[in-house]
Amino acid sequence: MDLELSPAHQALQARARAVAEAELRPRAAEHDRLARFPEAQVRALAKAGFLQMLAPTSAGGAGLGSVAYSLVISEIAKACPSSAVTMAVTNMVGDAIAAFGNQTQQDQHIPKLADATYWAGSFALSEPGAGSDAASLKATAIKKGDRYVLNGNKCWITSGDRAGVVLVMAKTDPAAGAKGISAFLVDPNSRGFSVGRHEEKLGLRASSTVTLVLEDVEVPEECRLGPEGIGFKIAMRALDGGRIGIGSQACGVGYGALEAAIAYAAARPDLSGSQSIQWKLADAATTLDAARLLVLRAATKKDLGLPFAREASMAKLFATESANQAALAAMEVLGADGLDPQHPVERALRDVRVTTIYEGTSEIQRLVIARSVLASA
């Protein structure tokens, strides 16, 4: 068992850090304050080759794998967590198209996701009445000749107003539960497709989060991703990979907060000499290292083509909870200075909060893990 990163992974991590420091960090606070979508950052991520890291080269991606992706997301998140989630969802959508799409669908979308011709890809599963219980979604896709007619509302959609393609889950057989769900690659310029409410958020304010409204949106049959009825499996598989991305994002935010707290304490002998401060730093450093190992284990299994859903849920659960605790501890080390909106720790604490909620809450991760461990009894 080798716990050291390969030279290629170390080099990629260093490159991602350099891109994050040069292109993302300088304007991250401003974008957060103005709740402004990070266009320049997305272009920089495209130029660095980070927007389609998972899709294979044959599909127009970089084919670098999940370990590489995790390392990059963490570095990006350390500097600008909003850019990291924008990048994560775009990668997740491309990964799903590569896994389930035909060559035409791959050729149509993955290169445009990779080079930011599309600002982003979006993943539209959640609805006002269907969050954690995703299979209870109500959007419908009714077949009419060689087209489907889509109706419904999707909410909390990352980059939904910026996407060049939206992966929409809707029921082709409304009576059939999870097995009645199909997936569609929807062009947001389609008639009847509109962007509703823009969410005002505590954190990740530079990432856009919107409601999408589908009113008699006609989608050609060839835009269905995979066969009818496997949309729920496509969504679940995408989320398994997505959870590695969010675990990685959380690690990055947590480490960023911890590094700021260490620098602050190191400059104040009264703090660095205090056992209560030392223990906060020690606990955060330990749990974040453990989280990173869990994330890399899940990523390694995915890269090896092994089942990884349980490991991805464990990684997401532990990393996001640990990163929240680390950011809170960092703020406590800084005391009142940590409340200053100019300080990166204040933003880290706001940005990290949602990581235990989106792409499956901590409760849902526990459910997935518990089902898996009980199934092995």
Binding site for ligand CAA (CB under 6 A): 85, 89, 123, 125-126, 132-135, 158, 178, 232-233, 236-237, 239-240, 309, 358-360, 364, 367-368
218 vs 321, which CB is nearer to ligand CAA? 321
Catalytic entry in 30, 321, 359, 363: 359
231 vs 256, which CB is nearer to ligand CAA? 231
Phi-psi region for residue 77, left (φ > 0), alpha (ψ -120 to 50) or beta? alpha
Q: How far is the CB of 291 from ligand CAA (least distance, A)?
A: 19
140-144 and 147-158 beta bridge pairing: antiparallel
CA distance 326 to 320: 10
Please answer whether residues 124 and 154 qualify as being in contact, where contact means their C-beta atoms are separated by less than 8 angstroms: yes
Backbone angles phi, psi at 59, to 5 degrees: -100, 5
Q: How many residues does the chain have?
A: 377
Q: How far is the CB of 312 from ligand CAA (least distance, A)?
A: 8
89 vs 349, which CB is nearer to ligand CAA? 89
Q: How far is the CB of 208 from ligand CAA (least distance, A)?
A: 10
133 vs 270, which CB is nearer to ligand CAA? 133
338 vs 360, which CB is nearer to ligand CAA? 360
Return all residues near 140 (Cβ < 8 A) that are at least 6 apart: 150, 151, 152, 170, 171, 172, 174
Please answer whether residues 140 and 152 qualify as being in contact, where contact means their C-beta atoms are separated by less than 8 angstroms: yes
Q: How far is the CB of 93 from ligand CAA (least distance, A)?
A: 10
85 vs 96, which CB is nearer to ligand CAA? 85
Does residue 221 have an active-site annotation? no
Q: How far is the CB of 263 from ligand CAA (least distance, A)?
A: 30
Q: How far is the CB of 167 from ligand CAA (least distance, A)?
A: 10
CA torsion, ordered 355, 359, 362, 365, to nearest 10 deg: -140
CA nearest to 64, candidates 239, 226, 302: 302
Q: Which residues are catalytic?
A: 359
